[in-house]
Amino acid sequence: MSFKRRLKFFKLIVLTLVAFGVFSFLPRPGLAVPFISPEKEVSMGKGADKQIVKQYGIYQDKPLQLYINQVGQNLVSNLSDKIFRRYFFRLVDSSEINAFALPGGYIYVTRGLLAMLNSEAELAGVMGHEIAHVTLHHGAKMMVRSIGAQILSIGAAVANPQNAGQWLVLSSAMFNQINLGYGREAELESDAQGMLTASDSGYHPVGIVKFLKNLRRQEIMTGQSYHSFQASHPDTKDRVIKAGLMADSVQRKHRDLIHKREMYLSKIKGMVYNGKLRGKIKKNEPPKYIDVYRVQKGDTFQSIAEKELGDRKLDLDISVLNGRKESSQPLPGELIKLIRDGTYQGEKSIKFQFEKP
């Protein structure tokens, strides 16, 4: 049999295996993926990273970028097996509520996501979740399943980045698949692993639970879908419950776990905000930014909305932004986020009251 005929026959076998889902059972969690070495995973991520940066842009706030990287690198340093030598954390300039990871250690969060988070523990939970997608090779496994016979050309595409046409198709397919989520089983697996990574790094595991609950509330109010919720739909409620049960178990095994709410809010103070808490985003809306307000005695969400934003009806927006139920009220002395019109011109410094910086 000639080489061309053997290659054609092999491609047919690969395509058949993919069609029947055989490859989905081959990789075991944490182990390398058939046909894709760790080096190729890194190359895949590096190539697609250029597309991500070009598509979204990097948010131009160096201190905030450094903060995101610091939290991410701290999480990675507490992994029992890093899998990859280096990890890269990017804050991209998008109002979407999203976070995602590429094979090989490339992890992204949007400023839209940061606006919805309410503590460093929540940020650590989300980033731990994305790190788990990397260490468990979810992106590479998905590429094997979704691309099928094209997997045979990955080596050439990665080894020769100058082949822009081939690489663009591959990296676009990779990002489109990843942005739709990895599937319910993979998301639950990453929820669990991410929570353990965050708690091993000293963060309270309830952070990710609070985020999931608030994100679900936000999704209902705005119609915006976070990619991993699409992957687990319609079992989001079940996912939140499982995360809550695991958080209770993890919490009992650790002491002195931190939230770092005030530290986190001080970092995102002044950040550009052009999302929407209710309804769809309109074109040409005036610029807005995240501000932080210290609750005074006697304040309610209604009185704060009227006093600080000039509209008592914005009380629901404030409660959702801060991860609170509609019926709840703020506590005197705590910090809460507000969305103000214009561009932030003040200082970012905040006098901490409840926790060390």
Give the residue among 244, 110, 119 at the shortest CA–CA distance from 179.
110
3-state SS string over 7-50?
Answer: HHHHHHHHHHHHHCCCHHHCCCCCCCECCECHHHHHHHHHHHHH
Q: What is the predicted pLDDT for the residue at 296?
A: 96
- Mean pLDDT score across all residues of the chain: 78
Which has more confidence, 5 or 343? 343
Q: What is the predicted pLDDT for the residue at 159?
A: 44
Residue 310 has pLDDT above 70, yes or no: yes
Confidence of residue 346 (pLDDT cuts 50, 70, 90): confident
| Predicted confidence (pLDDT) per residue in 207-256, tens digit | 888 888 887 777 676 665 555 555 555 466 777 888 888 888 887 777 67
237, 276: one domain:
no
Q: What is the mean pLDDT of residues 75-100?
A: 93
In a domain, 203, yes or no: yes
Domain count within the chain? 2
Which has more confidence, 157 or 115? 115
Residue 36 has pLDDT above 80, yes or no: no
Upper half-sphere CA count for residue 252 (Cβ side, 13 Å): 5
Confidence of residue 139 (pLDDT cuts 50, 70, 90): confident
CB 317 within 8 A of CB 336: no
In a domain, 177, yes or no: yes
Q: What is the predicted pLDDT for the residue at 202?
A: 93
215, 87: one domain:
yes
pTM of the model: 0.81
245, 282: one domain:
no
Three-class SS state of 282: coil
Q: What is the predicted pLDDT for the residue at 222?
A: 62
169, 302: one domain:
no
Instruction: Output the DSSP codes for 139-160.
Output: HHHHHHHHHGGGGGGHHHHHH-
d(CA 237, CA 233): 9
| Predicted confidence (pLDDT) per residue in 148-191, tens digit | 545 434 544 544 545 555 555 556 666 666 766 777 888 889 98
Task: Give the domain-ending residue among 253, 287, 309.
Answer: 253
Q: What is the predicted pLDDT for the residue at 221?
A: 67
Residue 287 has pLDDT above 60, yes or no: yes
Task: Give the domain-ending residue among 201, 225, 253.
Answer: 253
238, 283: one domain:
no
139, 282: one domain:
no
Confidence of residue 277 (pLDDT cuts 50, 70, 90): low
Q: What is the mean pLDDT of residues 287-296?
A: 95
Q: What is the predicted pLDDT for the residue at 356?
A: 43
In a domain, 353, yes or no: no
In a domain, 101, yes or no: yes
In a domain, 233, yes or no: yes
Q: What is the predicted pLDDT for the residue at 246?
A: 85
Residue 53 has pLDDT above 70, yes or no: yes
Task: Give the domain-ending residue among 222, 253, 284.
Answer: 253
Confidence of residue 33 (pLDDT cuts 50, 70, 90): low
Three-class SS state of 170: helix
Q: What is the predicted pLDDT for the residue at 171?
A: 62
d(CA 240, CA 165): 41
Q: What is the mean pLDDT of residues 83-100?
A: 93
131, 18: one domain:
yes
Residue 28 has pLDDT above 50, yes or no: no
136, 17: one domain:
yes
CA dihedral 73, 52, 282, 63 (to 10 degrees): 30
Which has more confidence, 259 or 283? 259
248, 99: one domain:
yes
Residues 6+ apart with CB under 8 A from 43: 104, 158, 159, 161
Whole-number percent of the chain with pLDDT over 70: 69
In a domain, 321, yes or no: yes
Q: What is the predicted pLDDT for the residue at 88?
A: 97
Residue 337 has pLDDT above 80, yes or no: yes
321, 225: one domain:
no
In a domain, 259, yes or no: no
233, 300: one domain:
no
Q: What is the predicted pLDDT for the residue at 24?
A: 34
Query: Domain of 204?
Result: 3-253
In a domain, 222, yes or no: yes
205, 295: one domain:
no
